[in-house]
Amino acid sequence: MASGISMDIYLYNMPPEERENLCHILDDNDVWRDLALNHMGYKKTDLQEIKRQMQLGNSPADELLTMWGDQNHTITELFVLLSRMQQYVAMSAIKDLVDRRYHRMIYSGQPDLSALLRNHSLKEKSPVTEEEKRADAHKKCTNGKILNCHQNAISIENNEEQDGDSSQGVDMKNFTDYASTIPKIDYQELVDATHNWSDKNILGKGGFGTVYKGTWKFTAVAIKKIENRGTGNADANKIQMQQSLNELKYLNSCRHDNILPLYGYSVNGDEPCLVYQLMTGGSLEQRLFSGPQSVSLMWTQRINIAKGTARGLQYLHTFKEKPLIHGDIKPANILLDPCCQPRIGDFGLAREGPNADNTAMEVSRVYGTKPYLPTEFMRNRILSTKVDTFSFGVMLFELVTGLRAYDHKRANKFLTDHIIAADKENVSIDQLIDQSCPADADVKKASSMIIQLGRFCIADKPEERPEMVKVLSFFDTICL
């Protein structure tokens, strides 16, 4: 493995025997429900598919692991969450799949029975050892972006400097430095806008904060409250803040119809906040994969979403001398307005690419979501605009097929492999396209063309992938 990359086993790569044993443990007494709602950040409405699987007699824990695994979480992250829940039996079921350094989280968390049997006063406590302190730091570890934060209690690499700004020494004044033209909002206004951060207003939770729905100045907004999740590691908190600063910096400089609008920011309260336009159409991920309770996207809408996303990406890649590479293009980060016009969001992992004289550069760390990342980036840390092109190609496959980028239940788990295998086996477009939406001959022809475009976008060699300007021009040839 290339130096500078720290990786664990992804949840979707958990061996079947360990996964089955773990699911039995989590299914017992509905442990999975506590894990989902109180530790993974899901809401009750997010668990509809799990309830459907339960009605079919399937394991709810298995479906939960699939949902969470699709977000590119790892076994180590799950191990940490189980530690916080004091689920030591479940931890033991997967301990051989995590680094040995984490094993002490099991042993330090369980009571010393021999000590409890001795007639010692509970007030007499032994001094805390350094190892116990480190173990306690593990318990405080939280979820984060892929390859960034879940191992912070053990060690963490220096976050790469971006555009001359280091993640070291980040402080609040950088918010105002990065937001020269964005309104500064009083924190109390956001408290009022969300009914004092009511749980009923929560839209979602991530590794670095919670997003709330609110009404600010009679305008529907989404408010990201950037919360220190208590990783116990100063470097992790700096990385957390740097990613938030990235959003502020790049959304401040990128004004485009297909880029999520940022309305303002707040730094005078308990936590810094970013305020965005509320995308009432939800995310593309929700519209594609939320099951029967979600209104299926029509084919004209899907093509329009693909075209709008391509338009936004080509803008990011060309509006400055150095391209801005998003780095995490996937349906969860494509937000839809009421008319299903797409906006690219979540710029926390965005980086400036090489100048015009170079087409690629080597970076110090891998980031993003594995099923959407090309080999040259995952293995060799080679970053270019073609990383976004690859991710966009995977998303095209999802739009056409209605299938997820990764599904451990498929013969070909990665959707890219599924499409390539289908091509080799001459599988017809009738078998590939999403069956939830009726398709006539024109739709099938357009879908075939989009699948072919996706194949170009995911070419093994980055130089063989088209730039997004060329990808955008392709959509002018599609008529529906």
Task: List the catalytic residues.
Answer: 328
Three-state SS sequence of the chain: CCCCCCCCCEHHHCCHHHHHHHHHHHHHHHHHHHHHHHCCCCCHHHHHHHHHHHHCCCCHHHHHHHHHHCCCCEHHHHHHHHHHCCCHHHHHHHHHHCCHHHCHHHHHHCCCHHHHHCCCCCCCCCCCCHHHHHHHHHHCCCCCCCCCCCCCCCCCCCCCCECCECCCCCCCHHHHHHCCCCCECCHHHHHHHCCCCCHHHEEEEECCEEEEEEEECCEEEEEEEECCCCCCCHHHHHHHHHHHHHHHHHHHHCCCCCECCEEEEECCCCCCEEEEECCCCCEHHHHHHCHHHCCCCCHHHHHHHHHHHHHHHHHHHHCCCCCEECCCCCHHHEEECCCCCEEECCCCCCEECCCCCCCCEECCCCCCCHHHCCHHHHHHCEECHHHHHHHHHHHHHHHHHCCCCECCCCCCCEHHHHHHHHHHCCCCHHHHCCCCCCCCHHHHHHHHHHHHHHHHHCCCCHHHCCCHHHHHHHHHHCCC
Angle between helices 60-69 and 16-27 (to 10 degrees): 120
Evaluate the CA torsion angle 306, 312, 316, 317 in order and state its sign: positive
Amino acid at 83: S
With CA atoms as reference, report the closest residue to 36 among 82, 74, 70.
Answer: 82
147-177 b/e (C-beta count within 10 Å ≥ 16 → b): bbbbbbbbebeebbebeebebeebeeebbee
Contact 98, 75 (CB under 8 A): yes
Q: What are phi and psi of 235, to 5 degrees?
A: -65, -40
The answer on whether 213 is annotated among ligand-binding residues is: no
Binding residues: 225
The annotation places the binding site for ATP at 225
